[in-house]
Structure 1
């Protein structure tokens, strides 16, 4: 029995040394962050950041009147700030905090504004109906949200 314990101790020490050597030889692999999809769009964050008057309409006949109302909204402007990752900060439907969004387009298709990790035309996106640098008109993709919020008209404040 005296021979048995030293052999067990020696085997235990060898196993422990092997485990410790394995831990010290290579660090654990770090998780790789998935790449963000790259979209093209003629609208840049710099073109959108700023103060905007905001109004909305439900009937296309009200578009011109709503644009005039949006100009009056500059008294209490809707502020679009730059986002931390190169996008811009806007409120999504029913969210109390702004989210970073981007302008996204595939090929010559429609332009959308929405979350970077969602494909263009996702339910939380808004389609760009019109943009000329001074006026931005957005229509919600989700029909239920569009029914509640209407078509949004943003007019750049002086």
Structure 2
């Protein structure tokens, strides 16, 4: 009987040691969680693109200059870019009838994209910034099927 009693004491001590270890690990305070740094930068600000723009598009690179002239004439019925509720700017995504908030995004030194803030730069729904000088914005759709339908978009700031 002394053997059974010792075995029972060892089992109880083992269980108590396990509970003590579990309690000590759960009573520790967790380190504060640091907010995650942005995965990308936004080289083009909303203030730089908010406004009225003439819009035209081309499919062949040799049509770029002609299309820019056509976009200037588009100021008669301008494409309006407003500020977004979260600091981005409002643009239409492919096949959408309502504008959506987008941001510019880049992982330096790579290309700059315009798209949804919660997607990484270069996502299929993004547009690559081919050119931006404050007066002309040229965007190319990354989705090949969408690019085939819409072409390369040329925005020219309206006076």
Using the TM superposition, give the Cα deviation of residue 42 of structure 1 relative to its aligned residue in structure 2, in angstroms. 2.1
Contact 1:53 1:70 in 2 (8 A): yes
Describe the superposition over 1:8-47 as per-residue Cα deviations: whole angstroms up to 9, x where unpaired.
xxxxxxxxxxxxxxxxxxxxxxxxxx96945213211100
Whether the 8 Å contact between 2:59 and 2:151 is mirrored in structure 1 is yes
TM-score norm. by structure 2 comes to: 0.76
Whole-angstrom CA distance in 1 between matches of 2:124 and 2:37: 18
> Where does structure 2 lack aligned partners over 5 or more consecutive residues?
1-34
Cα distance in 2 for residues equivalent to 1:135 and 1:36: 31
Describe the superposition over 1:58-114 as per-residue Cα deviations: whole angstroms up to 9, x where unpaired.
000000000000000000000000000000000000011100000000011000000
- Which of structure 1's runs of 4+ aligned residues deviate more than 6 A? none
**Runs of 5+ unmatched residues, structure 1:** 1-33
Q: Give the 3 Å change call, closer, same or farther, for CA 35–84 of structure 1 in structure 2.
A: farther
In 2, are the aligned partners of 1:37 and 1:116 still within 8 Å (CA)? no
Show the counterpart of 1:114.
115
RMSD (CA atoms): 1.4
Residue matched to 1:39: 40
Tell me if structure 2 keeps the 8 A contact 1:126–1:139: yes
Q: Tell me if the contact between 2:39 and 2:107 (Cα under 8 Å) persists in the aligned partners.
A: no
Aligned-partner SS, 2:71: helix
Determine the C-alpha separation between the residues in 1 that align with 2:152 and 2:110: 20
* 2:91/2:102 contact within 8 Å kept: yes
Contact map agreement 1:51 1:79 (CA 8 A) in 2: yes
Aligned pairs, how many?
A: 125
- Paired position in structure 1 for 2:147: 146
Q: TM-score, normalised by structure 1?
A: 0.76
Distance change >3 Å, CA 72–CA 127, structure 1 → 2: same
